[in-house]
Each structure stands twice: as structure tokens, then as C-alpha cells.
Amino acid sequence: MKRDLLVCFSLLFLSITVSQVWSNDEEKTSQIQKFLIKNQNGSESSLVLSHPGDSSIENYSFTYDLSIAGDVFLVLGEIERCRSILEFLLDAKLSPNNFYYSAYNYQSGDPIEYNEHVGLNSYVVISFLNWYIYEEDERYLNQSKIIADAVSGVITNEGCLKGGPTESFVSAEHNFDAMSMYKILYNITNEQKWKDLENEIYDCLENVMWNTNYDLYNVGKDDNKRVTDVQSMAHFTLGDTYPEKTGRQMSSLMKNTQSAVWVNTTFKEQEIEGCDFVNIQDCPHEKMISVEWHLQYCCVLRSIGGNWEQCRNYIDLLFVDSQIYAGKGYVYSSRKSENNCLGWSTPNTDEPSVSSSCWGVFLFKNINPLSIFTKNKNDSSNDSDNDSDNDNDDDDIVSGGSSNTYLEKKLLFYIFVLLISFVTTSF
């Protein structure tokens, strides 16, 4: 009788642990899905509103946000919602340079912000290519080639891509985004020109952007600020090939990132910590958590075997209710209407952000949006495991063990308790 009770309690604790770990992320995913659906339902054009509640950009659907929202809908099986966004982008007005503009009107679908940037166009192409794999719709492959050709037109003598056809800055993040785009195009088409562009951009990133003083990538050419997202993009682009190509370990890059951008601050008078946009010594500013970039950092930790659960838990307070579109999601930043020292200000709203919320889903579903993460809709084979091998070290959240560290430790603990109960009650 005593042994039976111990066994029952052990199994009960085991089941509770498993359900709590899984339900936490699944519930958050469900709440984000609800937020995005309600958000899209509010638009006559089937777009998503990037930052609800901010009157200064009240009708802005940023193109980057549309791209990753489409990805999330595809990941979550909301196929028609994904289709509606991508069909809009397929037909959206392009610039004379064959670039997508940076934002479109949430209701009318007309251009509303006219920046022509390499990064967001690369994201759109990768979304198109995932849809092409899923749907086998040649229109998306053809449009991808048009945009990719346009992007190649801004390459410099050093092999770097400028920010866009009318820009002079050279951004490391944009170059990583474009490198991913060309890598995928080559894998799909086997056309050598895409491979040549991929290699040329990689050489630029290593020769022009890598900072040997910090062992981090600079934010851009002739700009050595240390920022969070660029380091994460290195992983999303290079993945498991990073150590072989660079001779460096991704865990070391993430550890250096944590040292450079980790801050302790407050949100609604409560203590929080996480990744800032930029190192505060490189560019003095009010400390704040960049939620989207923090989640990107967590995504890398999950892939390399770091303690991504702890990384996620640091920003639980920033997962908030939407008063406009129901559901929940992550805010953009821990501080509203604050200059982030990189050329823009954080949104002036308490509502969830589309971009941060989408990266939450990428984290919970272990998705790299700079890759082909889908398969053909007629392919009935099982999904492959997205977790990569670990290259972790021995401290900090960078090296928390396997990608399911928390769950595995709890499971092992309760299995141990179960075994002890059998042993002690058998005598």
C-alpha cells in the first residue's frame, strides 16, 4: 500500500511537470495566435497592424512584420490567413527600383512609408520561398527572383550590400538577411549566381563587419556599436556551419553578446533583465529590454543547447493582454516612446507588438524564419527535429544543456524519485 501511494504521487508529479512546461508555451502561442487573428480581422486589406495603440503609426503595417506574421500563420496552420498576406505582398506596389516599401496602410494597402531596405525585402523573399515550397506556386518563385536581382544591384566594391538603392549605410543585419535569401534561392534553383552572391556577402561580413576587439559583428561598416540582433542573425544565417566557416563557436558569440547588451531595468515598477538594443557604453541611452531581439537571442540559445527556458522567463512580465484585439502578445520594448540609439524610437503603446509576438512563436515552435521551415502541403512525412547539436560551454544561460533542459532535468528527477520509491518499499 505504501509503495503504491509513493508510485502514484511520483507519477502525478511527473505528469504535472510535463503538462506545466508544455502548456505554458502552448498557451502563449494560442494567445498570440488569437491576437494576430483579431488584429488581421480588423483590416479591410487583410494586413496586420504592427503596433496597435500608437496613434503616430496607427495605420502602419510594416512590411517586415507582414512577412513574419505570414510565416507564423503558416507555422500555425492558418493557411488562408498566410495566403492573404502573401497575395497582398505579391500584388503590392513596388518602388521604381523593384523594392518593397517599408510600410503599407493597414486599411487601404497603399504605401505609407517609402524606405527601400535590403533586410525587409530579403525577409519577404524568404517568406515567398517558403510558400513556394508549400504551395508550388511559381508566381512566388518568379517574384523572389525579381526582388533578389534588385537587391543585388546595391552591392559595393567590397562585396557588401548597402541598406538600399537610395541609402549609403551598410548594415550587417541586412547583409545576413540577404545572405540567407541567396542561400535558399541557390538551394531551390541551383543557379550559380545566387551562390556567388551568398559567398561575396559572407566575405564582406567577415572582412568588413567582424570586430576582433570585441569578438562580435559590428552593427555596420564603420560603425562598431555592439547590438543584439546582428549576432543572432549570424546564427540564423550560418547555423551549424558557423564553427566550420569562421573557426569560432556560436556559444562564444552568444556569451559575448550577453556581456555586451544584458541590462537590469524595470517594467511597470518591477525588476526585469534581458537584452538591450545596443551596448550602453557604445551609445548612452535609457536602459530598456528589446523584447523582439531578446526573443531572437533566446531562439539561438534553444538551437545551440543553451538555457532558453530561463531566457524566456526573464521577460514574462512583458507578455501582456491586448485591450484592442484580444489575446496576448509581447510588447516591443520595456520602455515606450524612447529613442533606442539606433535611429528609431520604441512605439508609444502598452499593446503587444506584432514583431515581438511573432518571434515568441518562433521560439516556442523552434523555427528559424531565415530558412526553409516548411514542406510541401502534399508531403505526409513526419517533421524533422529542428534542434541542432550543442556547442555549449559551462556557464550562464548560454550553456544550459540541451534544448529542453528544464523539462529533461525535471523528468530525470521524478524518474529518480519513482525508482527510489520502488527500492525503499521493496524491503
Residue 288 clears pLDDT 60, i.e. is over it: yes
On average, the pLDDT of the chain sits at 89
Residue 421 clears pLDDT 80, i.e. is over it: no
CA 305 to chain centre: 17
Structural domain span for residue 69: 2-425
Q: What whole-number percentage of the chain has pLDDT above 70?
A: 84
- CA 3 vs CA 6, 17, 153, 372: distances in Å: 5, 21, 73, 51
Identify the residue with better confidence: 396 or 383: 396
Residue 21 clears pLDDT 50, i.e. is over it: no
CA 66 to chain centre: 13
DSSP element (H, E) containing 423: helix 405-425
Among 86-90, 126-130, 262-266, 396-400, whose mean pLDDT is lowest?
Answer: 396-400
Q: Check residue 404 and give its pLDDT.
A: 43
Domain at 390, CATH number:
1.50.10.10
Q: Check residue 390 and give its pLDDT.
A: 44
CA distance 32 to 357: 6
Residue 396 clears pLDDT 50, i.e. is over it: yes
Among 13-22, 136-145, 180-189, whose mean pLDDT is lowest?
Answer: 13-22
CA distance 350 to 152: 39
Contact between 201 and 172 under an 8 Å Cβ cutoff? The reply is: no
* φ/ψ of residue 417, rounded to 5: -60, -40
Burial of 355 (0-12, 13-18, 19+ CB in 10 A): buried
Q: Check residue 224 and give its pLDDT.
A: 95
- CA 261 vs CA 172, 268, 273, 277, 343: distances in Å: 17, 21, 10, 7, 17
DSSP assignment string, 30-84 = HHHHHHHHHHHHT-TTS---SSTT-GGGTTEEEHHHHHHHHHHHHHTT-HHHHHH
**Neighbouring C-alpha atoms within 13 Å toward the C-beta of 380:** 0
Burial of 241 (0-12, 13-18, 19+ CB in 10 A): exposed
CA distance 249 to 255: 10
Contact between 255 and 398 under an 8 Å Cβ cutoff? The reply is: yes
- Grid cell, residue 229, equals 540582433
Question: pTM score > 0.95 for this model?
Answer: no
Identify the residue with better confidence: 306 or 386: 306
Tell how strand 103-105 and strand 111-113 pair up.
antiparallel
- CA 209 vs CA 77, 203, 236, 251, 259: distances in Å: 38, 9, 17, 19, 19
pLDDT band, residue 401 (cuts 50/70/90): very low
Among candidates 237, 205, 243, 345, which has minimal Cα distance to 288?
345
* φ/ψ of residue 263, rounded to 5: -135, 155
Residue 16 clears pLDDT 90, i.e. is over it: no
Cell 553578446 locates to 257
Q: Check residue 370 and give its pLDDT.
A: 97
Contact between 164 and 116 under an 8 Å Cβ cutoff? The reply is: yes
CA distance 387 to 303: 5
Among candidates 304, 292, 294, 208, which has minimal Cα distance to 252?
304
Q: Check residue 9 and give its pLDDT.
A: 52
Contact between 314 and 272 under an 8 Å Cβ cutoff? The reply is: yes
The neighbour count for residue 360, using CB atoms within 10 Å, is 29
Q: Which residues lie closer than 8 Å to 314 by C-beta, 6 or more apart?
A: 272, 273, 274, 294
Q: Check residue 270 and give its pLDDT.
A: 96
Number of compact structural domains in the chain? 1
